[in-house]
Amino acid sequence: MAADPREKAATLALRRRLLSNSCKLFFPEDPIKIVRGQGQYMYDEEGAEYIDCINNVAHVGHCHPLVVQAAHEQNQVLNTNSRYLHDNIVDYAQRLSETLPEKLCVFYFLNSGSEANDLALRLARQYTGHWDVVVLDHAYHGHLSSLIDISPYKFRDLDGQKEWVHVAPLPDTYRGLYREDHPNPAVAYASEVKRVVSSAQEKGRKIAAFFAESLPSVGGQIVPPAGFFPEVAEHIHKAGGVFVADEIQVGFGRVGKHFWAFQLQGEDFVPDIVTMGKSIGNGHPVACVATTQAVARAFEATGVEYFNTFGGSPVSCAVGLAVLDVLEKEQLQAHAACVGSFLMELLRQQKAKHPILGDIRGVGLFIGVDLIKDEATRMPATEEADYVVSRSRMPKGSSISRATLGTVAEPDSPFLEEQVFRQTGPPAPPLASSSCLVVPFYCHCSLLPSPHILENPSKGLMCVLIQIVECASFCFEFT
């Protein structure tokens, strides 16, 4: 920590001088300087309180006392690498195994989701003896070079698509190839994957893996149709590849109905490899890869040791265990289902009133709203999204709203990502007359208040959510 607090302007000047411009800030025109966090709240240097509704890392709340205590107590005793025998790493692996299908029984510990996906790629290639990868369009799997190569979201702005990468259509039933009126969109989209695989094989390529987020997030909060993954896995296995489920954004109970989002695809579906990160350590750098005995044995057969200096350290595993304890004791998975259902219903009520709200989709606290210009064509409301972004980060006292909504939009998408709410009072009066409403809502928040909040929604996070949904017409309107 800095010895003396700096003025915000001084911090910004130092950042601009010392950090690369490629390291972006939220609200770059007037960044928020956050100095403290507690639970679902964050505080700036002036003490202003924000509700954090983007954090996909502080899964059980900023500075959760049990997580902080676990890290502190273990730090006072020992923190070293995993080459020494220690109880924490085996206890943690055992606890994780209890949440997964029995087949996924071998664990590797790392420091980030990108490391986890990179290792998954290595495991797949070693096990299959193949090199190529099939991914979904718009996918993002990490910032390492190996992962940029399998992330259409990134590589299209860089070196382009490598010959060993094959892109299948995103299983989007709202604006994709096969929509909600298709009799079997799961089979139809899986057939597209089969077509991509067959095309690659005709060129002499061999498939090592299919990578997919269990719920594609960067691609637009997509919920794949049930049965899609099992169908895809069948095609990939026939091609000699393995199925990698990326749970980095959506695992650990966020979807409410299940602990892992891949479980939404059916009880019988089991990926060959599962990757974990972000929320696994509640802000502490922890990640994990879970796989089968067969995949692990093939990796071991190389005779090359896998060693990660900090992965699986006693402190990291103590933190991971504490996160699991909190999820269980505070029943946060059930609460994600409860709060998510409540929020989805509020959003659907607004959709019935406002034609700019094209689609409300999600599971648990993985929720998205698609903004459109026209209901028939479903044309993305990109200009309106840009308008919301430009107006959403307003100073205290703004005529837009006293509860200001921060948003980020993809350049070519109407899909908006909710960032932070600033609590500064009740909503402002309506703006000029309007024809439709924008609700930029992508609930990327796994910070959950206690269950009693639904019984008294006038307090805390639910109060702000309700205000924004019910009073959004006071915040953003178009004539």
Q: SS3 sequence, 8-19?
A: HHHHHHHHHHHC
Per-residue burial over 156-171, b = 16 or more CB atoms within 10 Å of its CB, e = otherwise: eeeeeeeebbbbbbbb
CA distances from 433 to 429, 458, 473, 477 (A): 12, 28, 10, 8
- 134-187 residue pLDDT tens: 999 999 999 999 999 999 999 998 989 999 999 999 999 999 999 999 999 999
Name the band, by pLDDT with cuts 50, 70 and 90, for residue 321. very high
Question: What integer pLDDT is reported at residue 220 of this predicted model?
Answer: 87
Closest among 10, 60, 54 to 33, alpha carbons compared: 10
Indicate if the pLDDT at residue 386 is higher than 80.
no
3-class secondary structure, 357: strand
Comparing 21-35, 59-73, 117-131, 273-287, the range with the smallest average pLDDT is 21-35
Indicate if the pLDDT at residue 284 is higher than 70.
yes
Name the band, by pLDDT with cuts 50, 70 and 90, for residue 193. very high
Q: Which residues pair with 404 in a beta bridge?
A: 422
Angle formed by the axes of helices 332-353 and 314-329, nearest 10° = 60
What are the structural domains, with CATH classification, of the chain? 8-60+331-478 (3.90.1150.10), 65-329 (3.40.640.10)
Mean per-residue pLDDT over the chain, rounded: 83
Question: What integer pLDDT is reported at residue 52 of this predicted model?
Answer: 78
Bridge-based pairing state of the strands 242-246 and 207-213: parallel
Q: In the predicted model, what is the mean pLDDT of residues 361-369?
A: 89
Position of tokens 């495991």?
Answer: 123
* Percent of the chain whose pLDDT exceeds 70: 79
Name the band, by pLDDT with cuts 50, 70 and 90, for residue 75. very high
Indicate if the pLDDT at residue 228 is higher than 90.
yes
Comparing 84-98, 227-241, 243-257, 437-451, the range with the smallest average pLDDT is 437-451
Indicate if the pLDDT at residue 444 is higher than 50.
no
Question: What integer pLDDT is reported at residue 194 of this predicted model?
Answer: 98
Q: In the predicted model, what is the mean pLDDT of residues 116-133?
A: 98
Indicate if the pLDDT at residue 315 is higher than 60.
yes
Indicate if the pLDDT at residue 101 is higher than 80.
yes
- 234-271 residue pLDDT tens: 999 999 999 999 999 999 999 999 999 999 999 999 99
Q: Which amino acid is at 125?
A: R
Comparing 196-205, 272-281, 407-416, the range with the smallest average pLDDT is 407-416
Question: What integer pLDDT is reported at residue 388 of this predicted model?
Answer: 60
**Residue 332 in contact with residue 355, Cβ under 8 Å?**
no
When comparing pLDDT for 388 and 404, which is higher? 388
Comparing 33-37, 231-235, 391-395, the range with the smallest average pLDDT is 391-395
Name the band, by pLDDT with cuts 50, 70 and 90, for residue 455. very low
Name the band, by pLDDT with cuts 50, 70 and 90, for residue 369. confident
DSSP for 327-348? HHHTTHHHHHHHHHHHHHHHHH
* Percent of the chain whose pLDDT exceeds 90: 66
CA 70 to chain CA centroid, nearest Å: 25
Position of tokens 């718009």?
Answer: 138
- 331-364 residue pLDDT tens: 999 999 998 999 899 889 888 888 888 999 999 9
Question: What integer pLDDT is reported at residue 130 of this predicted model?
Answer: 98
Indicate if the pLDDT at residue 476 is higher than 80.
no
